[in-house]
Every structure is written in structure tokens, then in C-alpha cells.
Amino acid sequence: MTLLLARSDVEFLLDPAALVPALRAAFVAYSTGDGAKALRVRSPLPGPGTATVLFPGVAPGVPAYTVKVHAKFPRQQPAIRGVLCVHAAETGDLLAVMDSTYLTAVRTGLAGALAADVLARPDAVAVAIVGAGVQGAQQLRALAGMRAIARVRVFDTAAERAAAFARAIGAELALAIEPSDSVVAAVRDAGIVLAATWAREPFLHAGMLAPGAHVTTLGADEPGKAEVAADVLRDAVFVCDDRALAVEMGALAGVGLGPEAVAAELGEVLAGRHPGRTSADQITVYGGVGLAFQDAVAAWAVLEAARERGVGREVDFLA
């Protein structure tokens, strides 16, 4: 039997904070082990959307693998939509099919926050958000759960979105969030910059960032997208989730840089195999495209919680 879980089920069952240890371990295993590497198959669709398949989602301690099929439609809400299939590792049985929208947002936010926490200066308490969307909010929520934040500025190309973000997320997290009228104003004294946009041209350039700032850039997750300029990336300690994908479709691809720009993968930093930041004045950048093992960690947690609580509807696809 296969368990069907709607988005509301996933939101109810998923505990973001509880995922952090398993995600950390999975990043380490991915970059330091000899397991399956990430596969992302992407295709344009008729009209404004793109479709992507992420597989195989495997992670330590998870006796299953995942295959995620989702699509991006920037003008829709939510912009990312799809399903995640969970299969038994030993038999291939389809254990669950669940909505991937909320799960993807949460695991992406946690990954970005893990990177920011390990790469940013310990005394970095001022945060800038560029892109007042779902992922901007998830990044800030996740980071606030990992370290102290004193103040936040937010910029969005739609000023009303930035204002709404400041009100809603500020109240939710009990943080002072100030809308900014430009990227320059938002990032000028930020110790941590979290960017998650649909930008196709870089908007973070040399000279804009404060000495010792950290940038997490998540918008550049497919060909043709870019947030951080090549001059910043060349001079920074650049850390990614997967070397090959950073060059093929991530932050480096968008500005024409190659593998020589990669200092380390996040898993190598978390494992202590690379020091990450080595001085207070260094600029550090994390660029992640999102990997299938993150889906496996989150989906297995959801599936276990669903079984414990009796949530979802069963269907026999082989009947």
C-alpha cells in the first residue's frame, strides 16, 4: 500500500528543527563518502514553466530512496509545485507519494542556514534578506533557530512585498525587520546576506558587501540564473553543495566560472575537512542548487510521523 500525503499533511507532520542533525550528517556523508551523486534532469515546458526531476534521494539511516518531480512557475503561488515519491530501498515498493512544495522550501531553508551558521563570523548579528518570498522567509526562520539575530533588513523588487514580509515575519520571529529601498542599502552593513530570487543577472557586486560578510545564494539553481557577480565569487571562499552542479547549473554557471572557483563542498566544511572561513575579513559565499538526499531526509521524517499519527490515505497502485 502507498500512503498519500497532501501539503497540509506535510506541514502538520514536518518538524524543521528536528531535521537539522540528520541533514548535517547527510551533507557530510554526501561529500566525504562514496555514495550516489546527485542527478538533476531539467527540461523547459510549453509556456513559462520548467520541470525538474531530482534522484536518487538517499541518506544515512534512511531505508528508502526518493524521486522528486516538480516544476517552477514563477508567476504562480506557490511557484514551486510537485510530488515526492518514497520507495523502499530493498524492494522498490512505493511507500508514499507526498506534496513536495512545503518540504522543498523547508529543507532548502535549513541547508542555507546550516551553511550560513558554519561560514559566517560568530559575531554576525545583522542580516539582509534579498527576495521577500517563501524561501527568504524560510531562510530567516531556519537561521534564527541556529544563532542570535539582532536586526534584519529586507529588499524586494516589489516594495509592498518587502513591507508585508517585515510585518509578518517580524511579528512571527519577534525580530525588528526594516524594509530597504535598494539592495545596496539592505546589505551595506550586514554580516549575513540571504538571497533567494528569480534574478537572471547578478545584483551583488564587489564593494557592496561589508568586510567579512557571508552570502547564501539560492536563486541560482538552474542555468541562466545568477545573483552574485563573478568578481565577488572569485575573491570569496566559495562553498557549494555539489561541485559539478555548481559549475553546470548553479552560482558559478550563471557568471561563467569553473571548478577552480570552488573552495569546498558544504559537507567537507561540516566534516572539518576544510576550514571554511579562516579570517574575520574574508567574504564567504554558499551557493546551493538543492540535492536529492535533502528530500530523502525530510520525506522519511514525514513518513515516520504519518505512520505514528495515522495521517494520510492509503491506496494500492498495483490493484
Compute the distance between CA of residue 223 and CA of residue 234 in angstroms, rounded to an integer.
19
- In the chain, pLDDT over 70 holds for what percent of residues? 100
User: Domain spanning 121-287 has what CATH number?
Assistant: 3.40.50.720
Largest pairwise CA distance in the chain: 62
Least confident of 72-81, 216-225, 304-313: 72-81
Q: What is the mean pLDDT of the chain?
A: 96
Taking residue 170's Cβ as centre, other Cβ atoms within 10 Å add up to 16
Q: Say yes or no: domain 2-104+292-315 is CATH 3.30.1780.10.
A: yes
Nearest C-alpha neighbor of 13 from the set 103, 131, 116, 89:
103
Cβ-contact 2, 95 below 8 angstroms: yes
Least confident of 25-29, 39-43, 205-209, 307-311: 39-43
Cβ-contact 277, 41 below 8 angstroms: no
| pLDDT of 187 higher than 90 | yes
Residue 304 φ then ψ, to 5°: -60, -40
Helices (H), 54-129: 101-119
Can you read off the three cell numbers belonging to residue 252?
A: 558559478
Cβ-contact 28, 271 below 8 angstroms: yes
- Average pLDDT in the 198-218 region? 97
Provide the 3-class DSSP secondary structure of residue 85: strand
Compute the distance between CA of residue 135 and CA of residue 315 in angstroms, rounded to an integer.
32
Domain boundaries, the chain: 2-104+292-315, 121-287
Beta bridge partners of 194: 129, 216
The pLDDT assigned to 47 comes to 85
**Residue predicted with more confidence, 42 or 145:** 145
For residue 187, the one-letter residue type is: V
Q: Write the CA distances from 4 to 93, 99, 104, integer angstroms.
A: 14, 9, 17
Residue 131 φ/ψ region, left for φ over 0, alpha for ψ in the -120 to 50 degree band, beta for the rest? left
| Strand ranges of the sheet holding 64-72, from the earlier edge strand across to the other edge | 39-44, 50-57, 64-72, 80-88, 94-99, 2-5, 313-315
Compute the distance between CA of residue 226 and CA of residue 202 in angstroms, rounded to an integer.
5
Least confident of 49-58, 155-164, 307-316: 49-58
- For strand 284-287 and strand 214-217, is the pairing parallel, antiparallel, or unpaired? parallel
**Cis amide linkage into residue 179, ω under 30° from 0:** no
Compute the distance between CA of residue 197 and CA of residue 42 in angstroms, rounded to an integer.
19
pLDDT digits (tens, 9 = 90+) for 142-170: 999 999 999 999 999 999 999 999 999 99
Compute the distance between CA of residue 159 and CA of residue 126 in angstroms, rounded to an integer.
21
The pLDDT assigned to 180 comes to 98
Q: Write the CA distances from 231 to 176, 183, 207, 211, integer angstroms.
A: 32, 17, 10, 15
The pLDDT assigned to 72 comes to 87
pLDDT digits (tens, 9 = 90+) for 244-283: 999 999 999 999 999 999 999 999 999 999 999 999 999 9
Q: pTM of the entire structure?
A: 0.95
